[in-house]
Amino acid sequence: MKKTVLTCTAMLMGLTGAIAGGLNTNTNQSAEYLRNPARDGAIGIDGVYSNPAGVAFLDSGLHVSFNIQSAQQQRNIVSTFPAFAYGAKNGKNMTKTFEGEASAPLVPSLQAAYNWNGWSFQLNTAVTGGGGKCEFSDGLGSFESNVALLNAFGAKKGFFGNGYYADMYMKGRQYYIGITLGAAKKVTDNLSVYLGARALYGNSSYKGHVKNIMFMDPNSNKLAKASAIAATYNEMAEVYQKKLDQLKDAGLGESDNAKQLAEGFAKLKTAAAASQKVGSVTDEDVVLDCDQYGWGIAPIIGLDYKINKWNFSTRYEFNTRMRLKNDAVNSKSAANFSALKKFEDGKKVEEDLPALFTVGLQYELLDNLRLMGGFHLFFDKQAKQYNDRQDLLDGNTTEYLLGLEWDICKHLQFSIGGHRTHFCNTDEYISDMSYNVSNWDLGTGFGIPVNDRLKFNLSFYKSFYDNYTRTTNDYNNLSATVAALAGTDAAKQLKEAGSLFGQDKFERNNYAFGIGVNYRF
C-alpha cells in the first residue's frame, strides 16, 4: 500500500511539458516558429536557435528579436475502473474523466546576433523546457483507484460498506531557462559553421495534499475515517465481551447464546483490526511542498550551406546533464511513502535534457515563395531520468516538418507549416501523471515588415493529438496494494480473475499565440 498510494503526487514532475519538441524539450522559441515550425533551413534572426550557422548570412549589424508566447493546454484522462462506481463524487459511474488545466500565460524569449566581417556573435535566452504550470483540482485515477480498491476490498470482507471519499489537490510548475552563447563564421561565400554552448537553469515547484480519506461505515451508513470505523467495531466488541462475561459469571459460558456472542466478538475484533490496518496508511494527511533547483551546460555545433536557390543546415545539441536538488518542507507522513522519496529534502533528482539532431532545408520556388522542410531526432532514451524511466521507452522521439512562406507584398508575409511528432511510448512508460502522445501540429501567421529594419510577427499554433489507450489487468499496479493487505496469493487470484482490470484513455488539447518584433540596428 505504501508503495502505491499517492503515486500521483510523487509524479507531479510530468504535469508540465513542451508545446513542441521531445519529451523534455521546447522547440517553440519564437513567434516565427509558431507561424511555421519548419525553420531549421531558413535564414533569419530566429535562427539563433533553429539554424545558428545560417545567421552568419544576415547583413552586418546588430539583429534583435523579442517574442512573447501564450499557451493553454487541457489534459484529460478518461479512466475506467469498476470500483470507481462507489466514489461519493462519481454518481455510480465506473468511468471518470480527470481534468488537468495547464497554462503558460506569458513566455518571453530573446534572440540577438551581431554580424561583422564574416562573423556572427549570438545570444539566445528562452524557456527551453517545461514552461508552465498545471493543476489537477480533483486528483488522478492512479490515486483514486487505490482508495477505491481499498473500499472494494473492505466491502467484500464485510468491514466496510460500499462507498468512499478522498480530497486531493495537486499543482506543479516547471521552468527550464536556457541562455545560449555562440559564434558562427562564414568559411566561404556558401558555407558557414557554428559553435556555442547553452547553460540551463531548472526551477520547479510542486504543491499538493491528500486529505480526509474516508470509507463507508456499515454500522452508521456514513462516511468515516478507517480508524474511526475500527473504533466503532472495538466499542461494539466491548459490549459483546461484557455480555459474554456476564453469562460466564452466571455459569452459562457454554450456552448457545454465549457461543454466538463469542463468535460475534471475534468477527468484530477481526473487522476492527482490518479497518485499523487500512487506517494506518490513510488516516494521516499527506502534504507535499517541494521546490527544485539545478543547472547544466551543453555544447552546440551547426553548419549551413547555400547554393543557388537551396539552403541546407544541420545542428547537434549535446545532452544536458541536469541534477535538480530538492528544497522541501513536506509533512512527516510523506516519509512513509516510497513514492515520495523523489521529493525528499536535499535529494538530487536526474532530469537530463536530451541531445538533439536536426536537418533543415529551404528552396525558393519563386522570388517571393519559399518551401521549407526539416527533421528532428531527440535522444530521449539516452537522457537520464529518475529511476531510469528512459529505459521503458521503445525508442527516440522523431519529428518531420514542412512549411511554406509567401511574400504577398513588400509589407506583408504569410506562412503556414506543420510537423508530425512521434513518441515511442510504451504502456509501462506512459502514466496519467506524466505523458506525451504523438501529434500533428499546425502553425500559421503573418510577418509585417515595416521597413528594412523593423518587422512584426503574429502567429497561431495548434496541436492535434492522437489518443493513446492503455488497458491492463493490474490497474496502476494495484496488485501491490492487495499483496500488502492480504498477501501475494490473494493479489495473484484477483489479477487472474480480472478483478484488477482498468483502462486509461489519454487526451490532450493545446493552442498557442505568439507576437514578436525583429529589429536591425
Query: Does position 314 have pLDDT exceeding 60, yes or no?
Result: yes
Residue reference for cell 479512466: 79
Residue reference for cell 510577418: 447
Residue partners of 130: CB distance under 8 A and separation at least 6: 16, 17, 18, 26, 174, 175, 176, 202, 204
Angle (CA) 359-360-366 rounded to 5° is: 160
Residue 11 has a pLDDT of 33
User: What confidence tier does 1 reach under pLDDT thresholds 50, 70, 90?
Assistant: very low
Query: Does position 8 have pLDDT exceeding 60, yes or no?
Result: no
- What's the pLDDT tens digit per position in 233-256? 999 999 999 999 999 888 888 898
Residue 102 has a pLDDT of 79
Residue ranges of alpha helices (H) inside 358-510 are: 478-486, 488-496
User: What confidence tier does 16 reach under pLDDT thresholds 50, 70, 90?
Assistant: very low
- In this predicted model, which residue has the larger pLDDT, 494 or 365? 365
Tell me which of 2.40.160.60, 2.30.30.20, 3.40.50.2300, 3.10.350.10 is the CATH number of domain 7-225+283-520.
Answer: 2.40.160.60
Its sign, for the CA torsion 479, 482, 487, 491, is negative
- What's the pLDDT tens digit per position in 97-128? 988 887 778 889 999 999 999 999 999 999 88
Contact indicator for 353, 128 with CB cutoff of 8 Å: yes
Residue 20 has a pLDDT of 59
Least confident segment among 20-29, 190-199, 278-287, 327-336: 20-29
Query: Does position 350 have pLDDT exceeding 60, yes or no?
Result: yes
| Averaged pLDDT, 403-424 | 96
Quote the cell numbers at residue 235: 466499542
Residue 363 has a pLDDT of 98
Cα–Cα distance measured from residue 341 to residue 344, given in angstroms and rounded to the nearest whole number: 5
pTM of this structure? 0.87
Ranges of each domain in the chain: 7-225+283-520
Quote the cell numbers at residue 131: 514552461
Its sign, for the CA torsion 374, 375, 378, 379, is negative
Cα–Cα distance measured from residue 234 to residue 252, given in angstroms and rounded to the nearest whole number: 24
Cα–Cα distance measured from residue 398 to residue 377, given in angstroms and rounded to the nearest whole number: 5
